[in-house]
């Protein structure tokens, strides 16, 4: 076969030629500003339009509740278009001194509204706890937030309040975690509640997370002011979950350079364990996972995953 025949034989038919590879499409992005509102740790996206903003600046925006005053929590930046809920509304304008004064007046009116509402609640002997009162910026609606252990029939209360305030009344039952977010305060760490400062949504927290992080299961120590498990238990959960797969579980019987013993304490992030030796049970020692070999897996927790066994000749991990 000559050279021309070889080239003709190896060539692919025209309709089977490999299609040229296209460069990956970049995600479409949109310029937004983050706006925060009262009683919410969550920020909302708005289009900046032609305006420029500084951090903390007050602005007027249109929301599902009507015209609202908010503050810039993050200046102009780009986000992926798939994170935007359509339609993306624009910031109407920067707040003026009159706008800020009006907002301050609303705060004063809310104090007196709360006092009146509390008297109405007591008069009707309703099993509800008034948490907060909020006027919308344009005074078109007055919202009363409350907690209750069960469903409350507040139809007559709404009529009483509407007759007093001559505006649209809304009573909204909230959960105990939302109450903590609204009221605010300091956590056991000495810092403001996560839900009032930066936490946008309440994620599920389980007692398993506290167990895996070796917290005391005393409810007073692992519960927040709201009475629920602290939200911060979730922050390092994934790290602990991954680290626990690398260390033996509690109660495991292991071989160490000083003899065999039982694991009595696990330190997942440090990748070390405390072992009570058979020969010297009165003096437990700490070993790196690289120094031990699991002879029998414990059944006192630590997950279902069989811990990985490092070679004994590996250097100790710092």
Report how far residue 43's alpha carbon sits from residue 210's, in angstroms, rounded to the nearest whole number: 29
Report how far residue 34's alpha carbon sits from residue 82's, in angstroms, rounded to the nearest whole number: 16
pLDDT at 17 over 60: no
Same domain, 117 and 165: yes
Report how far residue 84's alpha carbon sits from residue 79's, in angstroms, rounded to the nearest whole number: 8
User: What's the CATH code of the domain at 293?
Assistant: 2.30.30.140
Report how far residue 258's alpha carbon sits from residue 278's, in angstroms, rounded to the nearest whole number: 10
Tokens 């359509």 map to which residue? 86
Q: Which range scores top for mean pLDDT: 2-11, 17-26, 123-132, 174-183?
A: 123-132
Give per-residue pLDDT as tens, 270-318: 889 899 998 888 888 899 988 888 888 876 444 333 344 444 444 444 3
Rounded mean pLDDT, 46-61: 89
Residue 14 belongs to some domain of the structure? no
Q: What secondary structure, in 3-state letters, does 147-195 show?
A: ECCCCCCCHHHHHHHHHHHCCEEEEEECCHHHHHHHHCCECCCCCECHH
Give per-residue pLDDT as tens, 121-177: 999 999 999 999 999 888 889 999 999 988 888 999 999 999 999 999 999 998 888
Q: Tell me what pLDDT residue 25 has.
A: 66
Contacts of 61 (CB under 8 A, 6+ apart): 35, 46, 67, 68, 70, 89, 91, 92
User: What's the CATH code of the domain at 141?
Assistant: 3.30.300
Residue 2 belongs to some domain of the structure? no
Rounded mean pLDDT, 55-60: 91
Residue 23 belongs to some domain of the structure? no
pLDDT at 107 over 60: yes
């Amino acid at each position: 076969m000559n050279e021309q025949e070889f080239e003709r034989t190896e060539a692919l038919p025209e309709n089977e030629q490999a299609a040229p590879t296209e460069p990956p499409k970049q995600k479409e992005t949109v310029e937004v500003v983050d706006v925060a509102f009262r009683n919410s740790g969550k920020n909302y996206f708005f289009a900046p339009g032609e305006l420029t903003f500084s951090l903390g600046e007050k602005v007027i925006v249109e929301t599902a509740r009507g015209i609202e005053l908010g503050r810039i929590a993050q200046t102009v930046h780009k986000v992926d278009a798939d994170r935007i809920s359509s339609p993306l509304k624009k910031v109407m304008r920067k707040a003026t001194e009159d706008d800020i004064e009006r907002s301050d007046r609303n705060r004063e009116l809310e104090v007196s509204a709360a006092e009146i509402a509390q008297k109405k609640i007591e008069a009707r002997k309703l099993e509800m706890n008034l948490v907060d009162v909020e006027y919308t910026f344009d005074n078109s609606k007055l919202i009363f937030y409350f907690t209750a252990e069960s469903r409350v029939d507040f139809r007559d209360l709404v009529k009483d309040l509407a007759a007093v305030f001559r505006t649209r009344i809304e009573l909204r039952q909230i959960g105990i975690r939302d109450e903590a977010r609204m009221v605010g305060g300091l956590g056991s760490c000495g810092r403001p509640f996560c839900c009032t400062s930066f936490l946008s949504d309440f994620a599920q927290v389980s007692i398993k997370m506290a167990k895996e992080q070796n917290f005391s299961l005393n409810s007073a120590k692992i519960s927040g002011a709201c009475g629920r498990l602290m939200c911060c238990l979730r922050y390092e959960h994934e790290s602990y979950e991954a680290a626990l797969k690398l260390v033996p579980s509690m109660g495991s019987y292991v071989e160490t350079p000083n003899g065999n013993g039982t694991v009595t304490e696990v330190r997942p992030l440090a990748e070390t364990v405390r072992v009570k030796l058979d020969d010297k049970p009165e003096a437990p020692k700490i070993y790196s996972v690289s120094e031990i070999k699991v002879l029998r897996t414990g059944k006192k927790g630590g997950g279902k995953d069989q811990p990985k066994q490092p070679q004994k000749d590996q250097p100790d991990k710092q």
